[in-house]
Amino acid sequence: MALLKWQPRPVTALANDGVIAPGERLPWPQTTVMGVQHVVAMFGSTVLAPFLMGFDPNLAIFMSGIGTLIFYFVTGGKVPSYVGSSFAFIGVVIAATGYSGKGLNAHIDVALGGIVICGIVYVAIGAVVQAVGTGWIERMMPPVVTGAVVAVIGLNLARTPIQNMAHSHFDSWMQLVSILCVALVAVFTKGMIQRLLILVGVFAATIIYIVLTNGMGMGVPMDFSGIAAASWIGLPHFHGPAFTASATALIVPVVLILVAENLGHIKAVSAMTGEDLDPYLGRAFMGDGIATIVSGSAGGTGVTTYAENIGVMAATRIFSTAVFIVAALVALLLGFSPKFGALIQAIPLPVMGGVSIVVFGLITIAGARIWVESKVDFSNPANLIIAAITLILGTGDFTLHFGTFALGGIGTATFGAILLALLLPGQKKKQAQPA
């Protein structure tokens, strides 16, 4: 009942410079543009995850918009975050369905059932946190753990742009050009252009790519045929879940990774904004869990708070929750527009690779910032061991196999960090001492 009585806080306070707090917003035209930038930031991953699992990307975009609105209302509009397709589900969904990697997943309904149950468990964890507080979560996941998990997310993702998004020497150089475009915008511009560094950087790098490839024949030309062929309006393909014990057993453990991700993300945003968001942690878990249930019930992927968008917030210093309302509404519209999806997917792979390197780097630094803001004492051997092992397990993608279930690098790093924090209690006592 308390959740039903919860009223979201309207974002009405205007601000034009400096750090834009969650309860503030820019004028609506600028807020709208910032919302579009967040859509672009999440688009690559939110489309890639369903592709890898055999889900409909347009539906995933649509459900990410629905999920973000759910998250906003459940948290009362106090936690700035976008929710999109979670990569944590990829391995277990493929294992549960035997997906071959081509076309629509023939057993998508089985995967959806596991995703829905996972969301229900996630909501239950959130309800417990909201009822009894965050103490037990924080005992399991002190700042040394959450900082390491957030950093690992960025480091683990780094292999994707570096190994898979540059297929030639030209592509590698083009990635560096893209990185440089974003860096120059970040350092040498001011005002809204600086705040739109991701969009402006992508646009500038794409223009350079077109000149060098389509104009001068130096690489693979940008392909516009998909944009021309795509329809302006098209319905996503909805699917219903089917519940099986085997798929549920494989998929539900992902909830622990989602908890760690969400906790780490909120800690990162708290550190960047200076606002204590811990009282809303239970609601954030419930919002994310409800969004996952709704998405899985309609045929979408499991969702999570998005690291890419936290990277954008870190770069722009705009934490207004109003931006995410706009981003969610834009995602809803884009879910019905295959044309826009084709436009985003037409962005050259090395350009997106270069931008991804920047964004994933910002995510990693956000994890390090948790350590700094929380004054984690690395002269304490326990803290040092926890952080060191977690970073290497996640970065190296250390995988454990339990029959048909594979726990990948982020999962092993997350569980490893939690277990080490429980086994090495000395880190808690020392960490509490004044710096």
Q: Which of 364, 419, 409, 350 is nearest to 386 (CA)?
A: 419
227: amino acid identity, one letter: I
**pLDDT, position 429:** 46
The neighbouring-strand residues paired with 303 are 85
List CB contacts of 1: < 8 A, sequence separation 6 or more: none
- CB 11 within 8 Å of CB 320: yes
**pLDDT, position 1:** 40
pLDDT at 187 over 50: yes
The pLDDT tens digits of the residues spanning 202-236 come to 888 999 989 988 888 787 788 787 778 778 888 77
The pLDDT tens digits of the residues spanning 49-95 come to 787 677 887 888 899 999 999 999 999 888 888 898 887 787 678 77
DSSP notation for 299-332: T---EEE-HHHHHHHHHH-B--HHHHHHHHHHHH
Cα 142 from chain centroid? Answer: 21
Could you tell me the two tokens for 101?
A: 């990697």
**pLDDT, position 6:** 45
What is the b/e burial string over 365-396, where b = at least 16 CB atoms within 10 angstroms of the residue's CB? bbbbbbbebbebbeebebbeebbebbbebbbe
pLDDT at 35 over 60: yes
The chain-wide mean pLDDT, for the chain, equals 81
The pLDDT tens digits of the residues spanning 258-268 come to 887 788 788 88
The pLDDT tens digits of the residues spanning 4-25 come to 444 445 455 555 566 787 777 7
**pLDDT, position 4:** 40
pLDDT at 431 over 50: no
List CB contacts of 180: < 8 A, sequence separation 6 or more: none
The pLDDT tens digits of the residues spanning 401-415 come to 877 666 777 778 888
**pLDDT, position 222:** 83
**pLDDT, position 68:** 94
